[in-house]
Amino acid sequence: MKSTGVVRKIDELGRIVIPKELRRTLDIQVKDPIEIFISENKVILQKYQADMACMITGDVLDENMTFGNGSIVLSPAGMAILQEELESKSGLKHQEMLKAK
């Protein structure tokens, strides 16, 4: 686990402030849900990611599909965005990629 060197005190209501730099780095926005885990004597905060949430759009839809043994979840819109980005960076269209195999 990587130390940030940031120390915060808990206030009278049991709250702590996550520094702006960390929220920006972890893409945590106002009202984002945060999941809380306990491991041995540690409290771990993690931005909540719903099961079957698209890794690109964040959408949770019945149409979402998993790839790579379930480690990658994509919505139809996420697949389209990914395909467009792959094509633009590789210079190949989907059909050309299939032929190249």
> Is residue 99 helix, strand or coil?
helix
Dist CA 64 CA 16 (whole Å): 35
Q: What is the per-residue pLDDT for 1? A: 76
Confidence label for 92 from pLDDT (cuts 50, 70 and 90): confident
Q: Stretch 63-79: mean pLDDT, rounded?
A: 93
Q: Stretch 46-68: mean pLDDT, rounded?
A: 89
- pLDDT higher than 90, residue 13: yes
Dist CA 83 CA 89 (whole Å): 10
